[in-house]
Structure 1
């Protein structure tokens, strides 16, 4: 029996020692509590029980002799009451609020002024756990340091109770402010605003009888939100948090130089610099608990006994500074997670072999599949690169870099898009995104990633000869910046036939406007037509005269003139466009264009010139004035062409009958004469007899201005002042009269026909 007792004692002794070590708080033989307040070393009660490093503040006194009073812990030499102490560097004390009370006439009748100094001690006012509060209004509350300089403060103003605002201590009747690090002295002050000093906007009315200023624990004050606390008039004290540290040296680095005085005594304890003021504090290493300021004060934490803090759903084993947790025998999984351990499966050798072979076959097939996909991807990338180079992408990139590097350059916003970008913009070129179809391809509506709405032209084919010059011509077209020309934003070159990205114009084509009944019923139909014609002519004139090098459109027609929401004309579709040839002998191998708009001289010579665009524009002008289609297959042979029909009507002086009824009603005789003359010059068989687009644009603008004046209206009396079409003197009028020799001599049955 005695042997068993001895064995039990031998087993229990290490456990008791560990428990005692874990609970080691104060020096041996020293008091470690005062009432319900723990007194850990370096603090202590009595001689030899506290750290004596030359700074007062660690020596405490416990006064427990008062009858019926709880023990009171105070700082020796200062008398401050400590309500709590922790090894985490915090202490709680109490501070009496500074108070000024006034009678109804504003006279000071009671005054309590408080100050507190912790200078030269381990304590400093906590800047993170405290705040300065001023109660009552109107009042300015603040505090000074030991030298009398201002540290922190705030102003509390008044507001009538019937206009009270939500929120507590926001500046009305109560205000608060933060305090800085390093504060060790509190001397409070209250500044009262006399009635003559009060700004009625800021301080209003209803001043309180008593006003306070105090330093208070933030957490405690946040719970005091009732009006009874804000409007109190009694004398009271509030809790205040102090930060303590070993402050006889500035930091850990300096403290380690003197091993005898170094406060971190326990083996493995860590030292870290104080965050509020100079000094340092100590802590036990991870996995240990206790008092790091005592030899042997840090003891290993038995995590297996603290299952609420350290989770383990298996077999727990404590280790120095840590613990392990494993699933019980016969199970496997994650023992740190509830239900994480599972019973081991009966996985036979045969099943493992079958599974291994299956996985091997699957991985082989999967690898082959990925190799195939990689090959196809490289093949696709190579094809895209080949198309990109074939379509002149490298040349285009060089031109864009050269342009952006030039003074004032920047690429004009032109961009080379990838095929994936345009697929995403058009929902993979969905049918419901199609805006129109033409001889050169299909136009889709697209929305780019930056939400820009664009028109994307997907061409059907392109000749080899066109491909060589495509990149250069696209870059030049992208530099066109004219309000009446559809802006070319960029292109996609990594496809077999390049795709073009244009500005989106919302109101359809001029063809639809004329022949689809979308606007000709308007009261300003004639003016609208003349404006659209003038804007289109101005765009073509810009391309012929101002672009460098000049650009020939090659397919001018109403279907290639778009209208925006304000019916502003915008010339589009440069599918047949060419740069003006430097060699006038350059001959086209393929005549492109649209029946009814093609220049007869271009058909015969295969040479596209700026006068070819003039002829096509003349047909558009005729289409605007007559409202009729350029080719009518229902009439007689000589009347199928609108140009032929109008020319024959001019010869017989019956051309006004061909005009649209609205035009015939609104256009005056002089304007009609000028319009007829301009049309016949434009559609002349000889390109040399046709005017330039610049002249056409000027004539149309003048015609429009004339038509807008009262004397230009149909039925208006001819003014005797001699006003001509251009507002010039009558003698210049001969310039604009119709000359019969300019009419194309087309006899009945001799109309030139062709097919493409």
Structure 2
């Protein structure tokens, strides 16, 4: 199988990081996972999407796991499984979801992870936990910095470098202490040394896709920076990346946030569920970083290393330069985002699409 061959290349794991957290993944039997999940009982289901379903399980030693059961119906689906297992076997970082193991028996393809008790960022912003407001401002800042540091590892520490290609709220999981762990590497791409980008078919979720990737298929680290900018705005505001204006039209979060930020009205951008309990300076910092990340020109976006530095407030000089950027002087909202108004439909591109000139929402499953 393809994934068995790919593991032979796993020597590329960054040795410094490998020393910090040794790989502990293993091959599970289908019988073992059936037992752990009570035969993939519906009551154990944590979520479902275009990729398949995720189930809670408990191993014989009492440890809790999450089992992703993929829908295998083609060589492409099998390859997506192989890619995710390969990437997860390579990467080890406190802000990246760890691989516990996998199972490939017959037509079954299953990936096993540590169970994250607080589920995903999506569940707290827009899902089952959204009304509880467990994400105070301090937790949101920690999630922003933690997820950014996980992406820094992918872009700058892993060998070869890795583009995630699907940074979004549902792929940021939260452990028992609400520490962020970036997950789901099924769309990830390895970047050869010296390459600035790879041209590929488009996969991902509308609202998070960088325009050069959505329209031309050019995937680079900068595309992840764009997606992370959208995620930051979502984290600060509690709004979705695409907001319904009518039954057929949506507006990008950036087209709402940029004019407000340019007027300095940052308090209008914060999630009302925080009830005014936030740090004004940090909110301003998060919003400006988000907007500079999510601008349409990739050459103007910062690297994730710079994003982490800015989020931590480590350089007043660099933040002052950011605050005085031309983007915040004379905004042109209509030209700012690639998809400010798009036809309503499914947000998730579950199948690879040819690069497109006009970004529209394709048919697919939004649940990933």
TM-score, with length taken from structure 1: 0.40
Q: Which residue of 2 aligns with 1:609?
A: 220
User: Structure 1 CA distance, aligned partners of 2:279 and 2:111?
Assistant: 44
Question: C-alpha offsets along residues 17-39 of structure 1, whole Å, 9 cap, x if unaligned?
Answer: xxxxxxxxxxxxxxxxxxxxxxx
Q: 1:587: Cα distance to partner?
A: 2.1
Q: 1:684: Cα distance to partner?
A: 0.7
Q: Which residue of 1 aligns with 2:203?
A: 592
Q: 1:457: Cα distance to partner?
A: 0.6
* Secondary structure at 1:483 match in 2: coil
User: Structure 2 CA distance, aligned partners of 1:453 and 1:500?
Assistant: 14
Q: 1:740: Cα distance to partner?
A: 3.6
Q: Which residue of 2 aligns with 1:555?
A: 166
| 1:445 aligned onto 2:56 | yes
Contact residue 685 and residue 744 of structure 1 kept, 8 A: no
| 1:698 aligned onto 2:287 | no
Contact residue 96 and residue 181 of structure 2 kept, 8 A: yes
* Secondary structure at 1:567 match in 2: coil
Q: Which residue of 1 aligns with 2:95?
A: 484
Q: Which residue of 2 aligns with 1:688?
A: 299
Question: C-alpha offsets along residues 32-84 of structure 1, whole Å, 9 cap, x if unaligned?
Answer: xxxxxxxxxxxxxxxxxxxxxxxxxxxxxxxxxxxxxxxxxxxxxxxxxxxxx
Alignment of structure 1 residues 234-273 onto 2, 5 Å: none
Q: 1:524: Cα distance to partner?
A: 8.0
Alpha-carbon distance change, 752 to 465 in structure 1, aligned in 2, over 3 angstroms: same
**What number of residue pairs does the alignment pair up?**
337
Alpha-carbon distance change, 667 to 491 in structure 1, aligned in 2, over 3 angstroms: same
Contact residue 554 and residue 576 of structure 1 kept, 8 A: yes
User: Structure 1 CA distance, aligned partners of 2:249 and 2:56?
Assistant: 40
Alpha-carbon distance change, 524 to 445 in structure 1, aligned in 2, over 3 angstroms: closer
User: Structure 2 CA distance, aligned partners of 1:551 and 1:439?
Assistant: 23
| 1:739 aligned onto 2:325 | yes
Alpha-carbon distance change, 442 to 633 in structure 1, aligned in 2, over 3 angstroms: same
Contact residue 166 and residue 224 of structure 2 kept, 8 A: yes
User: Structure 1 CA distance, aligned partners of 2:293 and 2:174?
Assistant: 23
| 1:529 aligned onto 2:140 | yes
Q: Which residue of 2 aligns with 1:755?
A: 361
Q: Which residue of 2 aligns with 1:393?
A: 4
Q: 1:471: Cα distance to partner?
A: 4.1
Q: Which runs of 5+ in 2 are unaligned?
A: 343-359, 363-368
Question: C-alpha offsets along residues 574-614 of structure 1, whole Å, 9 cap, x if unaligned?
Answer: 2222222455564213x111121122221012122111111
User: Structure 1 CA distance, aligned partners of 2:163 and 2:218?
Assistant: 11
User: Structure 2 CA distance, aligned partners of 1:683 and 1:438?
Assistant: 26
Q: 1:540: Cα distance to partner?
A: 1.0
Q: 1:627: Cα distance to partner?
A: 1.3
User: Structure 1 CA distance, aligned partners of 2:104 and 2:179?
Assistant: 31
User: Structure 2 CA distance, aligned partners of 1:508 and 1:462?
Assistant: 27
User: Structure 1 CA distance, aligned partners of 2:321 and 2:309?
Assistant: 14
User: Structure 2 CA distance, aligned partners of 1:727 and 1:402?
Assistant: 33
* Secondary structure at 1:551 match in 2: strand
Alignment of structure 1 residues 307-386 onto 2, 5 Å: none
Alignment of structure 1 residues 143-292 onto 2, 5 Å: none
Alpha-carbon distance change, 472 to 496 in structure 1, aligned in 2, over 3 angstroms: same
Question: C-alpha offsets along residues 597-647 of structure 1, whole Å, 9 cap, x if unaligned?
Answer: 122221012122111111111111101111112222245988632122112
* Secondary structure at 1:493 match in 2: strand
Alpha-carbon distance change, 629 to 522 in structure 1, aligned in 2, over 3 angstroms: closer
TM-score, with length taken from structure 2: 0.78
Q: 1:530: Cα distance to partner?
A: 0.8
Contact residue 684 and residue 744 of structure 1 kept, 8 A: no
2:255 to 615, 624, 644: 644
Question: C-alpha offsets along residues 431-483 of structure 1, whole Å, 9 cap, x if unaligned?
Answer: 11111112322101122333332111112247635745864762342232211
Question: C-alpha offsets along residues 69-117 of structure 1, whole Å, 9 cap, x if unaligned?
Answer: xxxxxxxxxxxxxxxxxxxxxxxxxxxxxxxxxxxxxxxxxxxxxxxxx
Q: Which residue of 2 aligns with 1:298?
A: none
* Secondary structure at 2:46 match in 1: strand
* Secondary structure at 2:260 match in 1: helix
Contact residue 120 and residue 172 of structure 2 kept, 8 A: yes
* Secondary structure at 1:601 match in 2: helix
Q: 1:752: Cα distance to partner?
A: 5.2
2:34 to 412, 423, 442: 423
User: Structure 1 CA distance, aligned partners of 2:285 and 2:291?
Assistant: 10
* Secondary structure at 2:321 match in 1: helix
Contact residue 252 and residue 341 of structure 2 kept, 8 A: no
Contact residue 554 and residue 608 of structure 1 kept, 8 A: yes
Q: 1:755: Cα distance to partner?
A: 1.0
1:509 to 120, 131, 135: 120
Q: 1:500: Cα distance to partner?
A: 0.9
* Secondary structure at 1:392 match in 2: helix
